[in-house]
Amino acid sequence: MKVDLNLALNDSNLDAGQASNQRQLSISVSAIGTGTESAVPLNLCLILDHSGSMEGRPLKTVKEAAYGLIDRLNPGDRLCVVAFDHRAKVIVSNQVISDTESIKKKIDKLKADGGTAIDEGMKKGIEELKKGAKDTVSQAFVLTDGENEHGSNDRCIKLAVEAAAANVTLNALGFGDHWNQDVLERLADAAGGALSYIEHPEQAANEFGRLFNRMQSVALTNAYLLLKLMPKVRLAELKPVAQVAPDTIELPVQAENGKLAVRLGDVMKDVQRVVLANLYVGKLSEGIQPIAEVQVRYDDPGIGKTGLLSDPIAISANVLSAYQPALNPQVQQHTLALAKYRQTQIAEQKMQQGDRVGAATMLQTAAKTALQMGDQGGATVLQTSATQLQEGKELSEGDRKKTRIVSKTILQ
């Protein structure tokens, strides 16, 4: 597999008369094949909440969703299953798939009981995944329906960071309305995964399947963007880099051997990871001027190689004394996606401060941004929440969670 890397500026022209020009650099990354690759084995861990609140239909539908994934695994794929209440236990140790029926029987024995300690389940799940991580796509589905009352939320985030360092991706699935959206989102973001909201039990199989499809599309892992900025070009100081597709995530930046490194994690076939870098370009001479150079460092589990480097790609701008904008519509769309996310975050902060009017105004702004980018579903959710606040109503837990989800992605 190879990296497909594309760069674009939101406006490829710069004003020679300005001391500083702000530009958004869009970096799109995906994997492309040569036609001779075989499928990379999957290394999947299901980390499932079976606390007392999962009694009845919730646990039944989660078990059925798990069975559906097991049936989709191919020979050579690996699976482990961890269950947690206020403790955690390994139900199925990490193994190459063979006898799927015996695995299903072990899951079927789970009963709903006890409290919730998400970090205990994560710890055991990550330990099991590490056993099969070599030359595989390693991911966990962490499902819970409640607050982490018997565990530590800070420990959850630390474990997510540890998982990322071990080339393990964690996807967080919130079941029902009573899970902590801040913790699960931070968990998924830190470990390069997706946040999923299972509002009703019957949606469990679809959400498991959606995330499994995404996992199957992964071709390259442990990817880092390496960004080299030219003289007189710098990153913005506040929130300089964010991923905007397939989900919106603020990304940390670190210095590395004279370059800036940004961890992407998994790279998928036919699904672009799009990153926006907020740049400030100082006064430059007229003509075509280099702005930045980007390459990707990655692992290819299909051939057992680590630390591979893509060819560096350069991006330049045209510096004009008689400036005329040359806007890129696709980058403008990416910029709107990031604006929608950040506007919704501001609205949530205002809600926490008790400022309903301010929150409603920001949600309306986010709804208009969603409409601008053609995200009708997101606009409807955001406007509905804004209207409820304007009418003096509280947002339900479900409304808050739907608002968060549509701020991060476009509903499928």
Query: Which residue type sits at 159?
Result: L
What are 228's two structure tokens?
């080299």
Helix (H) or strand (E) holding 261: strand 259-268
Task: Give dist(CA 255, CA 390) in Å, integer.
Answer: 45
Helix (H) or strand (E) holding 206: helix 204-216
CATH number of the domain encompassing residue 161: 3.40.50.410
382-407 b/e (C-beta count within 10 Å ≥ 16 → b): bbebbebbeeeeebeeebbbbbbbbb
β-strands 169-175, 249-250 pairing: unpaired
Residue 211, judged by CB atoms within 10 A of its CB (0-12, 13-18, 19+), counts as: buried
Task: Give dist(CA 90, CA 153) in Å, integer.
Answer: 21
Same domain assignment for residues 235 and 299: yes
CATH number of the domain encompassing residue 323: 2.60.40.3670
Task: Give dist(CA 349, CA 289) in Å, integer.
Answer: 41
Same domain assignment for residues 52 and 171: yes
Instruction: List the beta strands (DSSP E) in 65-205.
Output: 78-84, 88-96, 137-144, 169-175, 195-198
Whether this prediction's pTM lies above 0.85 is answered by yes
Task: Give dist(CA 32, CA 268) in Å, integer.
Answer: 9
Which SS3 state, helix, strand or coil, does residue 134 take? coil
Task: Please list, in sequence order, all residues whose beta carbon lies within 8 angstroms of the beta carbon of residue 42, skipping any fewer than 6 positions away.
Answer: 73, 74, 77, 78, 136, 137, 139, 215, 216
Task: Give dist(CA 362, CA 383) in Å, integer.
Answer: 10
Task: Give dist(CA 215, CA 111) in Å, integer.
Answer: 28
Same domain assignment for residues 140 and 54: yes
Q: How confident is the model at residue 411 (pLDDT cuts 50, 70, 90)?
A: low
Same domain assignment for residues 61 and 86: yes
For residue 372, count other CB atoms closer than 10 A to its CB.
Answer: 14
Same domain assignment for residues 203 and 176: yes
33-82 pLDDT, tens per residue? 877 677 899 999 999 999 999 999 999 999 999 999 999 999 999 999 99
Same domain assignment for residues 120 and 181: yes
Full residue range of the structural domain in which residue 108 is found: 42-216
Same domain assignment for residues 157 and 199: yes
Residue that is last in its domain, among 271, 304, 327: 327
238-296 pLDDT, tens per residue? 999 999 999 999 999 999 999 999 999 999 998 999 999 999 999 999 999 999 999 99
Same domain assignment for residues 17 and 75: no
Residue 229: HSE in the Cβ half-sphere, 13 Å Cα cutoff: 18
SS in 3 state form for 113-127? Answer: CCCCCHHHHHHHHHH
Same domain assignment for residues 322 and 335: no
pLDDT for residue 293: 98
176-225 pLDDT, tens per residue? 999 999 999 999 999 999 999 999 999 999 999 999 999 999 999 999 99
* Mean pLDDT value across the chain: 95
Residue that is last in its domain, among 292, 327, 362: 327
Same domain assignment for residues 140 and 272: no
Strand partners, 172: 142, 195
Domain count, the chain: 3
What are 24's two structure tokens?
């958004």
Q: What are phi and psi of 109, to 5 degrees?
A: -75, -10
Q: What are phi and psi of 37, to 5 degrees?
A: -75, 145
Strand partners, 261: 226, 254
137-175 pLDDT, tens per residue? 999 999 999 898 898 999 999 999 999 999 999 999 999
Task: Give dist(CA 47, CA 118) in Å, integer.
Answer: 9
pLDDT for residue 38: 78
Strand partners, 147: none
Same domain assignment for residues 20 and 150: no
User: Over 80: is that where the pLDDT of 334 sits?
Assistant: yes
Residue that is last in its domain, among 283, 298, 327: 327
Give percent above pLDDT 70 in the chain. 99
Task: Give dist(CA 193, CA 291) in Å, integer.
Answer: 31
Same domain assignment for residues 102 and 160: yes
Q: How confident is the model at residue 412 (pLDDT cuts 50, 70, 90)?
A: low
